[in-house]
Structure 1
């Protein structure tokens, strides 16, 4: 049986994945009259550059001998994944802004872009996963899992899903929701750097954003070895730095928007 607390935390994470970014959009629209176009473009950039381009490329690389060799080295793998995430997402932001948001360059729309970018990431990665976990948990607790799911996937995979949901500590299903709050904050901060680069026409800041993105992502592979709370503490640190930057950058953008 999947514990009631685990199911509650799955539901909480599901709510966070959908309602946190939506709530931010509503707040920012009412308070600052952000452009919903910026939210949409931010979401589109993540979907295209991560979902359609980078992730399928990584899946393709997974069968290549050079990548298999690279994967034997944790440091190089972490660096590769962090850099590619930075390159695809930050260059994607730049392209999205240049193509669709030339008339919407402002601090408030940089924040809107980041909410869209991080929000669709939360919905696709956490929201869909939490929804699936809730469905699987319901089937397990009603005794229907083996009949409904087990007949459609391999027995090994079905057993792995079942054992994970039953044996994983309940708090693990809440961690994902909390992490998405941190991640969206970081995505807003990175988006503002690219907006600044475009507004100032100083594209060296795109490189800074790529390197910063890699610096945030790459060490997690090592930090996770010390436990999930160490990894989340690291992400929280970057979220706090990002939040401070988001707040302070408003004054910087004011001079550019005149």
Structure 2
């Protein structure tokens, strides 16, 4: 199968899948579109602060590491990526829910909020990278020939990247789609935890959401490093039982004891 075909299928899934999920949540649980938008905004806001911090830390630490200190570089990046993911993304969720997203005080609205957060991440992180890969597949040979005239070293690097992309098996697209499904499930579960932290004024639930987010990312990085991507996805699949339990447990609790809050427009 041509890489263009399976990459196009991946792009359709990571863009269309979150849209279909939001539409289903809207119809099935009468959640508002504003909650979807606030969830997406929370992710964008978190990365607007987090990414400059990561770039700055990279520029700071890289000159301090010798070329043979690859292990130290990994552990520095590991700590930064894992810890900042939980701190900034859950912190952004909390601030948005406390401030503008005052409607997100029930299970169904937190469900939609999490779909917005995870959905925009899928589009921006995976969707844009797939678009870049498709451009490389369709225009790569022309770009390489142009680069060979002025910057041969860059042409060789691009040629190697193109060859690797053409040789990639189709199952990598299915794996990427599955990984996004797991990530969106995690974002929904964490959004519910943060919603309860805001609604019930339980700061411990916010700290739990931060810790869970960091733990998921840390485990993914470690398993990829020592056992490979397939093992990492298997571990994350098992661990996704945690956010699923949060989702279903909170739904059952609200059905039995509806929260004593009235949603406001937000």
TM-based fold match above 0.5: yes
Change (3 A) 1:147 1:66: closer
Map 1:156-195 to 2 at 5 A. Answer: 156-195=156-195
Residue 80 of structure 1 corresponds to 80
Change (3 A) 1:152 1:218: farther
Change (3 A) 1:107 1:226: same
Q: Deviations over 1:44-75 (max 9, x none)?
A: 1101111x111121011111038955971544
| Alignment of 1:246 onto 2:247 | yes
Q: CA deviation at 1:10?
A: 1.0
Contact kept? 2:62, 2:73, Cα under 8 Å: no
Residue 218 of structure 1 corresponds to 218
Q: CA deviation at 1:243?
A: 1.9
**In structure 1, distance between residues paired with 2:149 and 2:243:** 46
Residue 229 of structure 2 corresponds to 228
- Out of 25, 28, 31, the position equivalent to 1:31 is 28
With normalisation by structure 2, the TM-score equals 0.86
Aligned residues: 252
Helix, strand or coil for the counterpart of 1:100?
Answer: coil
Helix, strand or coil for the counterpart of 2:77?
Answer: helix
| Alignment of 1:60 onto 2:56 | yes
Change (3 A) 1:89 1:256: farther
Worse-superposed segment, 73-82 or 95-104: 73-82
What are the ranges of 5 or more consecutive residues in structure 2 without an aligned counterpart? Answer: 261-266
Change (3 A) 1:39 1:194: same
Worse-superposed segment, 30-39 or 117-126: 30-39
Q: CA deviation at 1:147?
A: 4.3
Q: CA deviation at 1:239?
A: 2.2
**In structure 2, distance between residues paired with 1:95 and 1:251:** 26
What are the ranges of 5 or more consecutive residues in structure 1 without an aligned counterpart? Answer: none
Residue 196 of structure 2 corresponds to 196
Contact kept? 2:35, 2:109, Cα under 8 Å: yes
| Alignment of 1:14 onto 2:11 | yes
Q: Deviations over 1:26-57 (max 9, x none)?
A: 1011111111111101101101111x111121
